[in-house]
Structure 1
């Protein structure tokens, strides 16, 4: 059945959230086919100097990168790119049972124009300044709302986590002057720059290495740090509605921690105080094993951006401008070695970097509910219990925001990496000596 969403349907769709490339609408109408669904609507940047997050068709060089990769190179729309990439590239790496590629639906221009207006009061100011809905597209992705269980569930709670990069790079192509990257996580260094730019009010104590550590104590510590300073890396939903964590970088939906603790302690028999809530999340993360696969995918970046950027210039057949400014003979020889690789190897390096970039930027959605009475376990979901609570919880885990990264953003990634690293070195130079 072909689904067409028109201007008459605009009141059935409400703002749920957004990322850099897409805005998410939640269905609140009465059609059974759409219950429990969200619509992923494409956005475009208002800054024409910033490369788009995705393009309708792959460029000539992107076709080289993704040639023979399950139809990616032949894709003719953003939504089909998203679907094929999530299913055929990220699915085998992260687990197909944790991927939802969605279904393409038709949307009218009038619908998108009305959505642009109806969501203005809900969107963060900085998002409005940065981007707008792409009213020229004629399709969107319909996806299950993974912040809730199926429609027959009476209660569910979900936690959205953006894990970020879970390892320290060790590439030989990282220059000696940037060796701090091998000691301090990218997340921590980026926090310092964001604070300087007043993009956040205070630096988070979250350390991605804790979340990926396999230690329940350290995972618990990571979750607590995310809770205390969620930024856009930690959100909690009750029956699909946001109850904690903000849509903006530094905003929470509740003024006090107590209100959130009261909700999780009293809602529908959840009966969890904050420590038990974190204990339950820790058990789900550990038992599901999803972070193991995510980390392995992130580690496809063997060369770091300082190495991969050189392969990028080989792929696009342009002289490498970075090599012109290098006077360290040892480092220059390393980069010349990269430039002497066969083109297929250069393509592989860049492709692996882009896949890794998706894995470093995606979100993890863990949703769960208390199992009622003696109800049997549901096959397609996991189940977990914690010793301190006499309750079994059914849960599901999905990765979201698995967009393909545009090839032309490689230069942006390199420049941002240098900016983050240089700022951190300057700010903490005395401590690093």
Structure 2
């Protein structure tokens, strides 16, 4: 009954100017800004405590007409309507924002599991609410995010979801809650025969590692990450633990930790600083309130706790299976994309006749086969770019009948309720396929150049050492 009342309340809810002060900055990605409810309004407190709302951002150099409502824009392009023809709910929607929510509900949720995916629900927001939110949170957003995009004041609704850094409002158990957000990235090496010989390094080096090199050269990060996605997805407890420790040392935008919904490690909306001695000490002190361990051992115990929960939940196996829907790599997908859009293949155009022969089977494929290839790739790309939220709370001895799974931490003799959710399961647009192809080229070319430079330096050093010996 309470759930029915809540759904009715959501449908009728409109966030107005006077509500803006009740929503605080939680973080942001490239497309959306996330706000958490921190108010005490008698009208909303029972329904919004433990909730976040995602609101859309707009590029500052965007050309969207101020007079055009987002609700009147085309949700899917004609080619996308063909691509998603088997998902009736998507192609029957005329709204871009609702299409994104329906994609999570009807595409990603069946693949990743209904118990681990929250599709959310749309709520109306007024322009005055959005403009005041923009003003309120600007000082908390990373400067480069502020320069790149603002709150989209022309979008008239947001996506209301449970705050998965907390347990359900009013549920049993400890009032203390620790949550860990991980952006796993791609957990396998591609083996596709459509990967060109010049890019064969993709079969040996992870996309994440190669992208790190490009980000370092572009000044987006100050140090290469110690994290390896292959460790996280390995199924080995030792390697998963190694991956978590790597994320703790270099969290960047791949790892965040919250205590009772407040960030205690990582960055909000951007790349976090590396975990130096001062950050590590402050983090250790925060963990003492929830993990019973001697000094300097709380962080290690957190790593073990996360590892145990990841293994027990099986969520990484589910995620990896969806990621592997991309079984021909973007170097193959781009050809299927040109089949769908009925354009001349710009990739084959730049290849010799002999080089292009490898892609003949793709261009000879039926339209349905091309659609399947591209659709699977876009779904896999969502899975490669999503995040995992693991939430823990100590289970009291007197607790019984908890609806949550639990994990036992031997070293501290503590039992924890835990839950795991996938978040940021955004629909990837068909028009982005060319961008994905160009980015892939850029990442691999950069890494190859670095390898050549390193080899050159090593050869020069060896020659100098040889000459010195004579």
Asked whether the equivalents of residues 244 and 252 of structure 1 are also in contact (C-alpha less than 8 Å), the reply is no
Question: Alpha-carbon deviations, 1:112-171, whole Å to 9, x = none?
Answer: 111111111011111112211111111111100000112235110000000000000000
1:293 maps to which of 312, 318, 325:
318
Query: Over the residues paired in the alignment, what is the CA RMSD in angstroms?
Result: 2.0
- Counting only pairs closer than 5 Å after superposition, residues 16-415 of structure 1 correspond to structure 2 as 16-30=26-40, 31-48=45-62, 57-152=75-170, 154-247=175-268, 248-251=270-273, 255-267=278-290, 273-327=298-352, 329=354, 331-379=355-403, 381-415=404-438
SS at 1:384 equivalent: strand
Question: Alpha-carbon deviations, 1:30-89, whole Å to 9, x = none?
Answer: 221111100110112234499x9xx75101111111112141012122331122111110
Asked whether the equivalents of residues 291 and 301 of structure 2 are also in contact (C-alpha less than 8 Å), the reply is no
Asked whether the equivalents of residues 36 and 150 of structure 1 are also in contact (C-alpha less than 8 Å), the reply is yes
Structure 2 residues not aligned, in runs of 5+: 1-10, 65-69, 457-470
**Which residue number corresponds to residue 10 of structure 1?**
20
How many residues get paired? Answer: 428
SS at 2:373 equivalent: helix
When structure 1 is superposed on structure 2, of 100-109 and 145-154 the one drifting more is 145-154
Between the aligned partners of 1:318 and 1:410, the Cα distance in structure 2 is 13
Between the aligned partners of 1:38 and 1:131, the Cα distance in structure 2 is 20
Structure 1 residues not aligned, in runs of 5+: none
Between the aligned partners of 1:270 and 1:410, the Cα distance in structure 2 is 49
Asked whether the equivalents of residues 292 and 412 of structure 2 are also in contact (C-alpha less than 8 Å), the reply is no
Shift of 1:103: 1.2
Question: Alpha-carbon deviations, 1:394-417, whole Å to 9, x = none?
Answer: 000000000100110111100000
Between the aligned partners of 1:302 and 1:12, the Cα distance in structure 2 is 45
Question: Alpha-carbon deviations, 1:5-53, whole Å to 9, x = none?
Answer: 1011111111110011110001011221111100110112234499x9x
Between the aligned partners of 2:317 and 2:88, the Cα distance in structure 1 is 25
Between the aligned partners of 2:420 and 2:186, the Cα distance in structure 1 is 19
Scaled by the length of structure 2, the TM-score of the pair is 0.88
Asked whether the equivalents of residues 169 and 304 of structure 1 are also in contact (C-alpha less than 8 Å), the reply is yes
Asked whether the equivalents of residues 165 and 208 of structure 1 are also in contact (C-alpha less than 8 Å), the reply is yes
Between the aligned partners of 1:76 and 1:184, the Cα distance in structure 2 is 42
When structure 1 is superposed on structure 2, of 301-310 and 128-137 the one drifting more is 128-137
Between the aligned partners of 2:409 and 2:46, the Cα distance in structure 1 is 35
SS at 2:289 equivalent: helix
Between the aligned partners of 1:214 and 1:412, the Cα distance in structure 2 is 32
Between the aligned partners of 1:214 and 1:139, the Cα distance in structure 2 is 41
**Which residue number corresponds to residue 429 of structure 1?**
452
Asked whether the equivalents of residues 94 and 293 of structure 1 are also in contact (C-alpha less than 8 Å), the reply is yes
Between the aligned partners of 1:268 and 1:29, the Cα distance in structure 2 is 29
Question: Alpha-carbon deviations, 1:178-237, whole Å to 9, x = none?
Answer: 000000000000000000000000000110000000111100100011110100000000
Between the aligned partners of 1:113 and 1:58, the Cα distance in structure 2 is 28
